């Protein structure tokens, strides 16, 4: 009944069949590679082959914005219009590109070569405005000709790394991945060797003693998490590396993965040993194709050298790592939604309890950690918890990667010990404001963050320091906004992100992100109604109080913070 040659797909499906439904996203990616999109007959074949009900295959395709059930152009041009890029004129670039091709946003050029889409934050904020053309990332796209952008002639954006204490980033910034040989030369895999010489319990103790706290946003003590999974009944256990980095303004994990992939692998292998897991997954967001490739190469290198696989370094410990590629859904960074995605489902967050440490991936005890969290582990094992604590504050030990972007002179990833001031990051490291316009505000923590005013620049950048200032550390976003920007547009931009990324599972967020977006649209257009602040507050508090997961719970944090700071901005005009 179909005019598609299914044989190249069938060949690939054969090797996936043993994984069943869990291979659904890989299968859909493979199909899209072959056919350019996922036609109905192809979806049917995948469902049949993996034993997934057809309706569910459809539901999964529909959930992820990078899966297409109708053919797009030969190359899809994703132009980031989220906050960091918006501040640098991405809307105009989007318009220019569309005009050049004679199409509207979302449309396909007459020759079928290009489809142009608005993209959520691509994690290239230090190169704003950024785009993804087919599979190639491009930065500073406003300073290049549209023809060159479309022809893929722009140079690949290179990580910009700085800071005062280069613990995690010591191998980053070369403009290429660190090879295994280079990694070893710099003391790589010494942490793993040390860990394998200890008992798993002693490894967990070292992590607990270090005081390491998760860098993914929830600030959970890592050692306690590991201990929970180690002690939970159920086999096999899993280690999952959360590399879905999609919080607007965040790009640190991309730098760690692209420039020093073995550091993440080493952290994961140690975690596997500590909790007794035979397998780990790295879930990389669908837009991070370079990270995905670099990690894949590193896994192969590590396997060949005996750092992964059977009987690692003669210790008797076996561990393998499988890479998974997301497909365009911010919510899949939420840990339980991420599990669902690996299991081949729509990325709906689960109800908690149960928590991942007792019932995580495939219902088994699971440790899920952020990339940056895992990258701290080799140091802790190699140098010891005391050495680790030598940087940072009592309650926030270690170093932190901050993502500086927006209107600063030198955006980039900066590694500093916890406890430096916000002013130090902005002025001393990122070079102050880029143009003559003074600082208006700093968005701290990401789209789910809050605004710091210019009189708060002495705040100490640590979990406790930020907390006492009423600011979240989030994923380490520090996004400076100068006075040339209308903050109402900034709020609208953040609200659009959440409305686009809500999974739709629970009513407060499914409905609230949309209503917030609409009302802020009015506010930004200068057409606010007198009741709009009350509406935004009710919507915001309801999302915060009643939503299932962190997305809805924080989708109004920035709005509520702005209402507190600048009530006049919402005035009816």
Partner 1 sequence: MESTTNNEITLTIDGRAVTVPAGTTILQAAREAGIEIPVICYHEATTSNGLCRTCVVEVEGARVLAASCVAQAAQNMVVHTRSERVLRSRRTILEMLSSAVDLSEAPEIQQMIEDYGADTQRFPAAQKREFALLDDNPMYVRDYSKCVLCWRCVQVCAEDAQYTYALSYNGRGFNTMISTFFNEPLPATTCVFCGQCVGVCPTNALKPRREWLLEQGKTPEEIIALTPKERRRRPQ
Ligand X SMILES: Cc1cc2nc3c(=O)[nH]c(=O)nc-3n(C[C@H](O)[C@H](O)[C@H](O)COP(=O)(O)O)c2cc1C
The site partner of 541 among partner 1, ligand X, ligand SF4, none (C-beta below 5 to 8 Å per kind) is partner 1
Among residues 329, 413, 430, 439, the one that binds partner 1 under rule CB under 8 A: 329
The site partner of 420 among partner 1, ligand SF4, ligand X, none (C-beta below 5 to 8 Å per kind) is none
Site string for partner 1, 343-372 (x = CB under 8 A): ---x----x---------------------
**Contact status: 506 vs ligand SF4 (CB under 6 A):** yes
Among residues 129, 378, 465, 552, the one that binds ligand SF4 under rule CB under 6 A: 552
Q: How far apart are CA 512 and CA 525, in angstroms?
A: 20
User: In this complex, which beta carbon is closest to ligand X, that of residue 47 or of residue 123?
Assistant: 123
The span of 116-124, 455-463, 476-484, 506-514 binding ligand SF4 (CB under 6 A) equals 506-514
Instruction: Give the contacts of 278 (CB within 8 A, at least 6 positions apart).
Output: 236, 237, 272, 318, 319, 320
Q: How far apart are CA 131 and CA 139, in angstroms?
A: 6
Question: Tokens 């409905």 map to which residue?
Answer: 511
CB-based contact 418:211 (threshold 8 Å): no
Peptide bond into 236 cis (omega under 30): yes
DSSP 97-133: HHHHHT--TT-B-TTSSEEEEEES--S-GGG-S-EEE
**Contact status: 510 vs ligand SF4 (CB under 6 A):** yes
Instruction: Give the contacts of 143 (CB within 8 A, at least 6 positions apart).
Output: none
For 446-499, what is the HEC assignment? CCCCEEECHHHCCCECCHHHHHHCCCCCCCCEEEEEECCCCHHHHHHHHHHHHH
- DSSP structural state of residue 73: -
**Contact status: 368 vs ligand X (CB under 6 A):** yes
Q: How many CB atoms lie within 10 A of CB 457?
A: 16
User: In this complex, which beta carbon is closest to ligand X, that of residue 227 or of residue 335?
Assistant: 335
Question: Tokens 């599979």 map to which residue?
Answer: 135
User: In this complex, which beta carbon is closest to ligand X, that of residue 72 or of residue 360?
Assistant: 360
CB-based contact 334:548 (threshold 8 Å): no
The span of 244-252, 384-392, 428-436, 503-511 binding ligand SF4 (CB under 6 A) equals 503-511
Q: How many CB atoms lie within 10 A of CB 394?
A: 11
The span of 144-152, 291-299, 454-462, 514-522 binding partner 1 (CB under 8 A) equals 514-522
The site partner of 245 among partner 1, ligand SF4, ligand X, none (C-beta below 5 to 8 Å per kind) is ligand X
Peptide bond into 354 cis (omega under 30): yes
Phi first, then psi: what are they for 355, rounded to 5°?
-95, 160
State the nearest-atom distance from the C-beta of 490 to partner 1, in Å: 21
Taking CB under 6 A as the criterion, which residues in 237-266 touch ligand X? 242, 244-247
Give the β-pairing of 131-133 and 75-80: antiparallel
**Contact status: 518 vs partner 1 (CB under 8 A):** yes
**Contact status: 514 vs partner 1 (CB under 8 A):** yes
DSSP 3-state of 175: coil
**Contact status: 513 vs partner 1 (CB under 8 A):** yes
Among residues 172, 447, 509, 520, the one that binds ligand SF4 under rule CB under 6 A: 509
**Contact status: 505 vs ligand SF4 (CB under 6 A):** yes
Among residues 98, 256, 331, 494, the one that binds ligand SF4 under rule CB under 6 A: 331
Binding site for ligand SF4 (CB under 6 A): 331, 349, 502-506, 509-510, 547-549, 551-552
Binding site for ligand X (CB under 6 A): 214-218, 220, 242, 244-247, 331, 333-335, 368-370, 373, 549-551
Binding site for partner 1 (CB under 8 A): 40, 43-44, 53-59, 62-63, 69, 329, 346, 351, 499-508, 510-515, 518-519, 522, 529, 535, 538-539, 541-542, 544-548, 553
């Amino acid at each position: 009944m179909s005019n598609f040659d299914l044989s190249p797909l069938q060949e690939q499906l054969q090797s996936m069949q043993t994984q069943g439904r869990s291979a659904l996203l890989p299968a859909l990616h493979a199909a899209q590679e072959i056919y350019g999109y996922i036609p109905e007959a192809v979806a049917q074949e995948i469902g049949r082959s993996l034993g997934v009900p057809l309706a569910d295959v459809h539901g999964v395709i529909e959930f992820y914005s990078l899966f297409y059930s109708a053919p797009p152009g030969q190359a899809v041009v994703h132009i980031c219009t989220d906050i960091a890029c918006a501040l640098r004129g991405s809307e105009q670039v989007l318009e220019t590109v569309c005009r050049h091709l004679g199409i509207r946003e979302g449309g396909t050029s007459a020759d079928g070569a290009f489809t142009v889409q608005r993209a959520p934050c691509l994690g290239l904020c230090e190169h704003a405005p950024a785009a993804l053309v087919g599979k190639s990332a491009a930065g500073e796209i406003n300073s290049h000709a549209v023809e060159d952008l479309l022809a893929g002639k722009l140079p690949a954006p290179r990580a910009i790394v700085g800071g005062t204490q280069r613990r995690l980033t010591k191998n980053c910034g070369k403009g290429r991945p660190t090879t295994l040989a280079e990694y070893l030369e710099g003391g790589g895999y010494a942490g793993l060797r040390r860990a394998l010489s200890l008992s798993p319990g002693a490894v967990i103790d070292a992590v607990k003693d270090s005081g390491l706290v998760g860098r993914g946003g929830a600030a959970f003590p890592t050692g306690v998490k590991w201990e929970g999974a180690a002690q939970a009944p159920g086999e096999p256990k899993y280690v999952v590396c959360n590399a879905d980095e999609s919080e607007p303004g965040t790009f640190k994990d991309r730098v760690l993965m692209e420039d020093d992939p073995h550091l993440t692998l080493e952290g994961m292998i140690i975690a596997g040993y500590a909790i007794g897991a035979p397998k780990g997954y790295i879930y990389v967001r669908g837009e991070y194709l370079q990270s995905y490739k670099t990690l894949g190469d590193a896994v192969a290198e590590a396997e060949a050298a005996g750092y992964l696989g059977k009987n690692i370094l003669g210790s008797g410990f076996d561990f393998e790592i499988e890479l998974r590629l997301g497909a365009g859904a911010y919510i899949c960074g939420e840990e339980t939604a991420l599990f669902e995605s690996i299991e081949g489902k729509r990325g709906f967050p689960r109800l908690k309890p149960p928590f991942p440490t007792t019932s995580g991936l495939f219902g088994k005890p699971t440790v899920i950690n952020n990339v940056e969290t895992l990258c701290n582990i080799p140091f802790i094992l190699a140098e010891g918890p005391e050495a680790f604590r030598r940087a940072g504050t009592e309650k926030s030990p270690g170093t932190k990667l901050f993502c500086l972007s927006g209107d600063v002179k030198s955006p980039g990833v900066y590694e500093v010990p916890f406890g430096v001031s916000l002013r130090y990051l902005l002025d001393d490291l990122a070079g102050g404001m880029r143009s003559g316009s003074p600082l208006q505000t700093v968005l701290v923590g990401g789209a789910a963050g809050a605004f710091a005013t210019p009189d708060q620049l002495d705040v100490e950048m640590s979990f406790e320091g930020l907390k006492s200032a009423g600011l979240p550390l989030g994923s380490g976003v520090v996004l400076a906004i100068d006075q040339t920007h209308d903050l109402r547009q900034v709020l609208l931009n953040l609200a659009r992100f959440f409305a686009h990324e809500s999974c739709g599972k629970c009513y407060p967020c499914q409905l609230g992100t949309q209503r917030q977006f609409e009302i802020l649209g009015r506010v930004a257009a200068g057409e606010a109604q007198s009741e709009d602040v009350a509406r935004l507050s009710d919507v915001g508090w309801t999302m915060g109080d009643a939503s299932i997961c962190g997305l809805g719970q924080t989708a109004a944090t920035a709005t509520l913070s702005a209402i507190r700071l600048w009530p006049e901005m919402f005035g009816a005009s």
